[in-house]
Structure 1
Amino acid sequence: MKDVRIEGYASLFWTRDLNDDVTAAGAFKESLQAGPIRMLHQHDEAEPVGVWDEAFEDARGLFVRGRIMSATPRGRLVAALVGAGALDGLSIGFRQVKARRDGALRVLSRVDLWEVSIVTFPMLPAARLRVV
């Protein structure tokens, strides 16, 4: 089995997620400059499933492009599930650095981004991947 190339938006700016979080443009800038972002499955840090070759902010949000690696059993499983359409969500793992409250919303203006996971149910329903 070959590595599976994927891409998508892991976060969309100014879009409320199911946890009442909203990410401001520029929130990921420092993390992206600091080093690589990990690719996990369901936020499980014990078994990375691939690599993000690119991660950047554009006008819409945080865009990622990478490869699910077939070298591990979990990578093969995730690749097969993505290929079948059973997994298509993206979700970010982060630590809040700077945020403010706006009513019920938490507006994240700076975060320490640890990882972007391939997930079944993303906290931000519009955060989806596609196979390229």
Structure 2
Amino acid sequence: MSGRQVSGRFTGYAALFDRVDRAGDVIRAGAFGEPRTVPLLWQHRGEPVGRASVHEDRRGLAVDGIIDDPALAAAVRGGAVAGLSVGYRPRAVRQGANRELTAVDLVEVSLVAIPMQSLARVAQFFT
């Protein structure tokens, strides 16, 4: 266990399957592979502000996150920050009307002000 103080925990979805995002990409079920833990970032930048345990379910990439940064945890708790997003490297892509991502290497999950997928959001926050 880390020596860092946990400021909050949350659940939500960092990506939803079969939905076109603001960049025209569509992530397909199975793209993320096996459950794992990845760094949690703020806006895809800087040092980790926590960690995110992720797994696929029928809806998308479910996240159980831990926020170590007290100010960011307070913003999430208060509803000022609710967006989630994924940082990835595409491994398998099909090009059609939209770019379909069928396999990706997940690098990180980020809390963001404006998510690429409008429904990629924090669902619950716990202290």
Q: Deviations over 1:8-63 (max 9, x none)?
A: 01011101100000001000005x4xx5311001101x2211122x3100011000
Equivalent residues in 2 for 1:12-23, closer than 5 Å: 12-23=16-27
Aligned Cα RMSD in Å?
1.5
Deviation of the 1:5 alpha carbon: 0.9
Deviation of the 1:2 alpha carbon: 5.5
* Structure number having the greater strand percentage: 2
Identity of aligned residues (%): 44
Question: Which residue does 2:119 correspond to in 1?
Answer: 126
CA distance in 2, matches of 1:90, 1:43: 10
Question: Which residue does 1:108 correspond to in 2?
Answer: 101
Alignment-mate amino acid for residue 107 of structure 2: W
Alignment-mate amino acid for residue 39 of structure 2: R
* Structure number having the greater helix percentage: 1
State the TM-score, normalized to the length of structure 2. Answer: 0.89
CA distance in 1, matches of 2:70, 2:86: 21
Query: How many residue pairs were aligned?
Result: 121
SS class of match (2:76): helix
Runs (5+) with no aligned partner, structure 2: none
CA distance in 1, matches of 2:26, 2:6: 36
Equivalent residues in 2 for 1:25-36, closer than 5 Å: 25-29=29-33, 32=35, 36=37
Runs (5+) with no aligned partner, structure 1: 70-74
Deviation of the 1:112 alpha carbon: 0.7
For structure 1, which segment, 2-11 or 59-68, has the greater mean C-alpha deviation from structure 2 after superposition? 2-11
State the TM-score, normalized to the length of structure 1. Answer: 0.86
Question: Which residue does 1:78 correspond to in 2?
Answer: 72
SS class of match (1:47): strand
Question: Which residue does 2:66 correspond to in 1?
Answer: 67
Question: Which residue does 1:98 correspond to in 2?
Answer: 92
Question: Which residue does 1:72 correspond to in 2?
Answer: none
CA distance in 2, matches of 1:57, 1:111: 13
Moved over 6 A (4+): none
Question: Which residue does 2:41 correspond to in 1?
Answer: 40
